[in-house]
Structure 1
Amino acid sequence: MAVSKDIRRVVTTVDENGKAVVLFDGPNPNTVVRPQRGTVSRLMWVTGETPADIAGPVDRGDARVGIAPPPNGSVFRIIDIPPITAETEALPVDYHASQHGASTPKRHMRPRHPLMHATRSLDYALVLEGEIDMLLDDSEVHLKAGEVVIQQGTNHAWVNRGTEVCRIAFVLIDGQEP
């Protein structure tokens, strides 16, 4: 699968004179293609503390993190989810869930789909383009561009049953056990 169009990222800061300036302007430095699913994940920014460190010239988008945010931190990423394939549907039912380790809430049900997982975080998701189904433990919700999901540590899977890529913006904030 070819990487879909990139996203311009503009990051501002306050310089040594107290003036608002552009720190970075261009494609984000952190794009990961997951070939087993065809998903393209663009990490835009990561914080490792609350309140967040908002000073200095560090590119906090040029970081390596898992799916969940760091302890007491946050993650902002944009993900392109292609239509699901028969190969992905055939993966072990705990495929995605098994990749989360300590970030998985202690209380959750067994996955019912290979892409089902849970993170101990508050997640804001905004569908930017396309359509997608969010699978929950025993239900699902169909979402379209412009619609929002707020998840509170829930078991879920993103399944694109359409014919076009679905682009979703996610902000994950570290949370307590649900």
Structure 2
Amino acid sequence: MSNTGQISPLPPVTRHITGHNADGKAIVQSSTPGEWKSFEESQMAFNVVYTTSQFPADLNNDADLAAHDKVQKSGKLGLVNPKGTVCRIVDFAPSNQCVVHRTQSLDYGVVLEGQIEMVVEEGEPVRMKRGDIAVQRATMHGWRNPSETEWARMMFVLQDCQPLTVAGKPLKEELGIAAGVLNPSGNDQ
């Protein structure tokens, strides 16, 4: 999908990728509109901005660009890219269904538009406003847009992490009601 596939009324996004010319000078190598995929009966939409497949990323000879294209074309990207990162923008419809899940990753979630409630297993939801950041550390969590009329947008950067064990129990990816809808990440083996 292109921006025409965007389901929310929020402003479209454009990805600008920089690089270098033959003289080593910085250039804008490409500018492309966001590509959106909707979920939960159009209550949520994902735009994968970029992925890396190793850490640290290899920028030599545009290896990172080739790796990103390969991941995108595979159609198998889960929420997390094993041994790499995923930068994703997510739009949430008003009063969206909260999808509680766990990824085996360290995530930074930044509210770009509207407000979001971060739901965790214990305690009250935390209301986040534009500019607030969540550091999600492989916990069971969900995101809910509390507005009855306005869409919300977040940007997430997910980084693969070492397998997590709490109280002697290994914690695995759990997609909850999104299982079968989203691809498993496959990084919790």
Same fold per superposition (TM over 0.5): yes
Post-superposition Cα deviations, 1:50-101, rounded to whole Å, max 9, x if no partner, equal 1112242836378141112x2210000111111225xx4xxxxxxxxxxxxx
1:53 pairs with 2:54: no
- 5 Å matches for 1:118-129? 118-129=102-113
Unaligned runs of 5+ in 1: 89-113
Distance 1:3 1:83, change over 3 A: closer
- Corresponding residue for residue 159 of structure 2: 173
Unaligned runs of 5+ in 2: 1-5, 165-189
- 5 Å matches for 1:3-18? 3-4=8-9, 5-18=11-24
Amino acid at match of 2:46: S
For the Cα contact (< 8 Å) 2:86–2:159, is it kept in 1?
yes
Give the Cα–Cα distance (whole angstroms) in 2 for the partners of residues 119 and 2 of structure 1. 25
Residue 157 (structure 1) aligned to one of 130, 142, 155:
142
More helix by share: 2
Residue 76 (structure 1) aligned to one of 87, 90, 108:
87
- Corresponding residue for residue 101 of structure 2: 117
Equivalenced residue count is: 149
Distance 1:37 1:117, change over 3 A: farther
Amino acid at match of 1:144: K
Residue 67 (structure 1) aligned to one of 72, 79, 90:
79
Give the Cα–Cα distance (whole angstroms) in 2 for the partners of residues 27 and 2 of structure 1. 14
Give the Cα–Cα distance (whole angstroms) in 2 for the partners of residues 131 and 45 of structure 1. 24
Give the Cα–Cα distance (whole angstroms) in 1 for the partners of residues 121 and 40 of structure 2. 26
- 5 Å matches for 1:137-152? 137-139=121-123, 140-152=125-137
For the Cα contact (< 8 Å) 1:3–1:33, is it kept in 2?
no
What is the aligned-residue RMSD (CA, Å)?
2.1
Q: TM-score, normalised by structure 1?
A: 0.75
Give the Cα–Cα distance (whole angstroms) in 2 for the partners of residues 47 and 120 of structure 1. 16
Amino acid at match of 1:38: Q
Post-superposition Cα deviations, 1:138-166, rounded to whole Å, max 9, x if no partner, equal 22211111111101101101011212111
Give the Cα–Cα distance (whole angstroms) in 2 for the partners of residues 37 and 161 of structure 1. 17
Q: TM-score, normalised by structure 2?
A: 0.71
Deviation at 1:46, TM superposition (A): 0.3
Give the Cα–Cα distance (whole angstroms) in 2 for the partners of residues 17 and 43 of structure 1. 31
